[in-house]
C-alpha cells in the first residue's frame, strides 16, 4: 500500500528495533509497604497455585473443592426438603471441626510452599538486599498463609449462609452462627498458619516440612483423643477436657463452643471449665503470637 | 562524590575478626575488591547493605550512613550474590519482574524495566523459559539483571565471573564495563583473581584477613605487578650447569629484576617493551632453549607473597 504513494524520501520502517540505549528509571518507587503488600498478594495467590504451574494448582484447588462439597450438599438437601434450620452438629463452626483434616492437609501441603522455595534456592538475600526487612517478609508470608486458610475455611460457611437465605431460614440465627464460624475460621487461620510456617521455616526440603506438619497436626489430635477417651471412661469427665490442650483442632473447636455457649456435639469434647476456656483461648493466641515471633527471629540472621 | 567511604570499619565475630580497621574511599567508576576466600569481602558487602552492624568504625554508601539509613541505601543499590539464588521453575522474566516489585516498582514499570534490563544483559527469547534450563552464563546474567532492574546508582557484584569459562568470563567483564560506561551506574565488583579485575576496573582495593593491603588505581597496580614468566631448558653441552641461576645472573647484568618462583619458572619484572628483547638476548647468549615466556595472569596469592617478600627484605 505504501508502494502506491511512493514517497520520495524513504519512510522510517516500523519493524526495525532501534537500540535506544540504557534508559534510567525516574518513575515512582513505592517502598517497603508496597513491596510487603506485593509479596503478600503473590504468596496468597501462590497458596492456591494461582500464577504458578497447573501441577501446583491441583492439590490446593482439590482441597478447596473437598471442603466446599459437603456444604453444597447440605444446602441442596436443606433447600429441597425445606428444612427450617441446618442440623446444628454440622453447621458453621461444627462443620469446620468435622472438616478439620482438610485444613490440616492444606496447611501441610502449602505452608512449605510459602517458605521452603526461598530457603532452598537461597533467594532470601535478594529480598533482604532490598528495602524489605526480614520482619516485612515474615509479615507478608504469615499474613498470606493465614488469609489462605481463612479463605479455605470461610468459603464453605459462606456457601451455607447464602444457602440459608435461599431456603428462607431464620436470617438472624444464621447470621449469628455464620459470625461464630468466622471467628472459628480466624482461630484456625492464626493457629495453623503459625504452626505450619514455623515447621517449614526449619527445613529447605519441602517433603520434610509436609510430613512434619501432618505429624504435628494429626498425631496430636489422635493422642488427645485417646487420652480424652481414657479419662472419660474412667469417670474423670471434668479433667478429661485438659487432654485437648495438645490438639490444635480440638482447641479451636472447644474454645469457640465455650466462647459462644454453643451446645457442643452432645457428649463430645468440651473445655474442662470456665478457667479451661480462658486457658484454651489464651493458648491459641499465645501459640499464634509466639510462632510469629519465632519466625521473625529465624529470619533475622540471614 | 565518594560512592563508598569506610572509616576504621571493624567487624569481629566471636572467633574471627572479619574486618580489621578498614579505611577506604571509593570513587564513582568500576572498583575491584580483591581478596582470597575469607578475606572479608562478603562481610564488607553485608555491612555496606546495612544488613549487619559493624563492631567499630563507620561506613557511608552514596552519602548515607549504613548504621541508620540501611533502608534508603538498599533502595539505591543493587546486589548480585556470589551463590546461586534463582528458583529453577520460573522464567527469567517472571523472576526479575517479581524482584523489581520487591524494590518498590509499580507492576507496569516492573514489567517494562525487566524487558529493558534483560535485553541489556543479553537475554532474548530464552527469557520466557524456566531458569532451570539455563547455562551458568545465562544464570549469571539473570542475577545481574535483578540487581540492575530498579536502576540503582551503585551495584555490588560478588564474584560475578565465578564458574564461567574464559569466553563467558570476558563477556561478563565486558558487561560490567558497560554497566558503568553506558548505564552510568557505579560498580563494586569482587574477585579473587586480580588479573581479570585489572582489565575491567578503574581502581582496585586489595584486602587480606580483613585488612587493607593496597588501594590504588589500576594503572599503578599494573606497573607494580606486570611480570614475565620465563622457563628455560638445561644446557645440552653442559647438563650440570644450573641454567636458572646463570640466567638470573645474566638478567641482573642486563639491568632486569628477576627472581625464581620456587619451581623452574623465573619471574621477570616488565619495565617496558625492551624487557622482552633483553630476556630473549640473555637466553640466546646462554645457549639454552626457551620453554616459555609469557605474561603472568596474576593470582592474588602472588601479590601477597610479593608483598611479604618485600616486607621481609625491608626488615633484613
Q: Return d(Cα B135, Cα B122) in angstroms, integer.
A: 13
Say if the Cβ atoms of A35 and B101 lie within 8 Å. Answer: yes
Q: How many domains does chain B have?
A: 2
CA distance to partner chain A, nearest, from residue B34 (Å): 21
- Is B105 in a helix, a strand, or coil? coil
Asked whether residue A229 carries a pLDDT value surpassing 90, the answer given is no
| B258 and B289 together in one domain | yes
Torsion sign (Cα): A199, A202, A207, A212? negative
> Per-residue pLDDT averaged across A177-194, rounded?
96
Query: Does B292 lie in the same domain as B170?
Result: no
pLDDT of residue A6: 45
pLDDT at residue number B259: 81
pLDDT above 50: residue A139: yes
Q: Cβ of B81 and A38 within 8 Å?
A: no
Cα nearest neighbour of A137 on chain B: B102
Tell me the per-residue pLDDT of A48-69, one tens digit each, with 9 for 90 and over. 998 888 888 999 999 999 999 9
Q: pLDDT of A142-178, one tens digit each? A: 999 999 999 999 999 999 999 999 888 889 999 999 9
Of the residues B223, B241, B274, which one is the last residue of a structural domain?
A: B223
Tell me if A134 sits within 8 A of A300, measured CB to CB. yes
CA distance B119 to chain A (A): 10
pLDDT of residue A12: 52
Q: For B254, which DSSP code? A: T
- Hey, are the CB atoms on A35 and B182 less than 8 Å from each other? no
Instruction: Identify the domain boundary among B185, B204, B223.
Output: B223
Q: When comparing pLDDT for B187 and A269, which is higher? A: B187
Assign A107 a pLDDT band (cuts: 50, 70, 90). Answer: very high
Q: Based on the domain organization, do B145 and B279 belong to the same domain?
A: no
Tens of pLDDT, residue by residue, chain B (316 residues):
789 999 999 999 998 889 999 999 999 999 999 888 888 888 999 999 998 899 999 999 999 999 999 999 999 999 999 999 999 989 999 999 999 999 999 999 999 999 999 999 999 999 999 999 999 999 999 999 999 999 999 999 999 998 898 889 989 999 999 999 999 999 999 988 777 787 789 888 988 888 888 888 876 665 555 778 888 888 888 888 888 888 888 888 888 888 887 777 888 887 778 888 888 888 888 888 888 887 765 554 555 555 555 544 545 4
Strand partners, B212: B207
A207 touches chain B (CB under 8 A): no
Evaluated on CA atoms B63, B66, B68, B73, the torsion sign reads positive
Residue A16 has pLDDT above 70, yes or no: no
Tell me which residue in A27, A35, A126 faces B85 most closely, judged by beta carbons: A126
User: Is the domain of B174 the same as that of B108?
Assistant: yes
- Looking at the fold, whether B170 and B26 belong to one and the same domain comes out as yes
B101 and B246: one domain?
no
Quote the pLDDT of residue B151.
95
Of the ranges A271-280, A285-294, B290-299, which one carries the lowest mean pLDDT score?
A: B290-299
pLDDT(A246) > 50: yes
CA atoms within 13 A on the CB side of B296: 24
pLDDT of residue B253: 86
**Summary mean pLDDT of chain A:** 88
A-chain residues near B64 (CB < 8 A): none
B244 and B213 together in one domain:
no
**Partner-chain contact B87 A24, CB within 8 Å:** no
Q: Could you list the residue range(s) of the whole structural domain that residue B265 is in?
A: 226-315
pLDDT score at B306: 52
Q: Which residue has the higher pLDDT, A130 or B288?
A: A130
* One domain for residues B36 and B109: yes
Phi, psi angles (nearest 5°) of residue A41: -60, -45
> Residue B307 sits in a domain of what CATH number?
3.30.70.100
**ipTM for the assembly:** 0.82
Rounded CA-CA distance A71/A252 in Å is 20
Do B195 and B251 sit in the same domain of this protein?
A: no
* Residue B120 and residue B9 in one domain: yes
Amino acid at each position: 500500500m505504501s508502494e502506491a504513494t511512493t514517497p520520495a524520501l524513504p519512510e522510517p520502517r516500523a519493524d526495525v528495533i532501534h537500540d535506544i540505549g540504557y534508559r534510567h528509571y525516574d518513575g515512582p518507587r513505592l517502598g517497603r509497604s508496597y513491596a510487603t503488600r506485593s509479596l503478600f498478594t503473590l504468596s496468597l495467590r501462590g497458596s492456591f497455585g494461582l500464577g504458578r504451574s497447573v501441577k501446583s494448582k491441583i492439590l490446593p484447588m482439590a482441597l478447596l473443592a473437598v471442603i466446599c462439597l459437603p456444604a453444597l450438599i447440605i444446602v441442596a438437601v436443606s433447600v429441597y426438603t425445606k428444612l427450617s434450620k441446618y442440623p446444628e452438629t454440622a453447621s458453621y463452626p461444627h462443620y469446620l471441626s468435622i472438616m478439620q483434616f482438610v485444613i490440616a492437609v492444606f496447611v501441610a501441603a502449602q505452608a512449605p510452599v510459602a517458605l521452603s522455595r526461598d530457603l532452598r534456592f537461597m533467594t532470601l538475600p535478594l529480598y533482604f538486599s532490598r528495602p524489605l526487612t526480614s520482619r516485612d517478609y515474615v509479615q507478608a508470608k504469615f499474613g498470606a498463609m493465614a488469609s489462605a486458610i481463612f479463605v479455605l475455611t470461610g468459603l464453605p460457611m459462606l456457601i451455607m449462609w447464602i444457602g440459608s437465605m435461599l431456603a428462607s431460614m431464620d436470617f438472624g440465627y444464621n447470621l449469628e452462627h455464620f459470625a461464630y464460624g468466622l471467628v472459628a475460621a480466624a482461630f484456625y487461620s492464626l493457629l495453623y498458619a503459625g504452626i505450619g510456617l514455623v515447621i517449614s521455616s526449619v527445613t529447605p526440603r519441602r517433603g520434610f516440612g509436609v510430613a512434619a506438619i501432618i505429624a504435628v497436626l494429626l498425631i496430636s489430635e489422635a493422642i488427645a483423643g485417646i487420652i480424652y477417651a481414657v479419662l472419660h471412661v474412667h469417670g474423670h469427665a471434668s479433667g478429661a477436657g485438659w487432654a485437648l490442650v495438645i490438639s490444635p483442632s480440638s482447641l479451636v473447636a472447644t474454645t469457640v463452643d465455650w466462647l459462644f455457649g454453643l451446645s457442643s456435639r452432645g457428649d463430645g469434647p468440651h473445655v474442662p471449665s470456665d478457667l479451661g476456656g480462658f486457658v484454651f483461648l489464651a493458648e491459641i493466641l499465645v501459640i499464634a503470637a509466639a510462632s510469629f515471633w519465632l519466625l521473625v527471629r529465624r529470619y533475622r540472621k540471614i | 562524590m565518594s560512592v563508598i567511604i569506610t572509616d576504621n570499619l571493624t567487624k569481629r565475630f566471636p572467633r574471627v575478626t572479619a574486618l580489621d580497621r578498614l579505611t577506604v574511599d571509593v570513587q564513582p567508576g568500576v572498583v575491584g575488591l580483591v581478596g582470597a576466600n575469607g578475606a572479608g569481602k562478603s562481610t564488607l558487602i553485608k555491612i555496606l547493605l546495612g544488613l549487619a552492624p559493624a563492631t567499630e568504625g563507620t561506613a557511608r554508601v552514596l552519602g548515607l550512613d549504613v548504621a541508620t539509613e540501611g533502608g534508603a541505601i538498599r533502595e539505591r543499590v543493587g546486589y548480585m550474590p556470589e551463590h546461586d539464588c534463582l528458583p529453577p521453575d520460573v522464567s527469567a522474566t517472571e523472576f526479575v519482574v517479581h524482584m523489581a516489585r520487591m524494590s518498590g516498582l509499580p507492576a507496569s514499570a516492573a514489567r517494562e524495566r525487566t524487558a529493558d534490563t534483560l535485553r541489556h544483559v543479553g537475554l532474548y527469547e530464552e527469557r520466557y523459559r524456566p531458569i532451570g534450563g539455563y547455562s551458568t552464563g545465562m544464570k549469571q546474567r539473570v542475577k545481574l539483571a535483578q540487581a540492575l532492574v530498579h536502576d540503582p546508582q551503585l551495584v555490588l557484584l560478588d564474584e560475578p565471573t565465578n564458574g564461567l569459562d574464559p569466553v563467558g568470563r570476558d563477556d561478563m567483564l565486558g558487561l560490567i564495563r558497560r554497566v558503568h560506561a553506558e548505564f552510568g551506574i557505579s560498580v563494586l565488583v569482587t574477585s579473587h583473581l586480580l588479573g581479570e579485575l585489572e582489565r575491567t576496573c578503574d581502581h582496585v582495593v586489595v584486602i587480606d584477613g580483613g585488612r587493607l593491603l593496597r588501594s590504588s588505581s589500576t594503572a599503578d597496580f599494573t606497573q607494580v605487578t606486570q611480570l614475565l614468566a620465563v622457563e628455560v631448558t638445561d644446557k645440552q653441552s653442559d647438563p650440570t650447569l644450573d641454567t636458572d641461576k646463570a640466567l638470573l645472573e645474566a638478567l641482573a647484568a642486563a639491568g632486569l629484576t628477576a627472581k625464581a618462583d620456587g619451581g623452574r619458572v623465573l619471574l621477570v619484572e616488565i619495565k617496558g617493551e625492551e624487557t622482552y628483547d633483553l630476556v630473549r638476548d640473555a637466553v640466546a647468549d646462554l645457549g639454552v632453549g626457551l620453554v616459555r615466556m609469557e605474561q603472568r595472569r596474576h593470582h592474588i596469592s602472588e601479590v601477597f607473597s610479593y608483598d611479604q617478600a618485600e616486607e621481609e627484605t625491608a626488615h633484613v
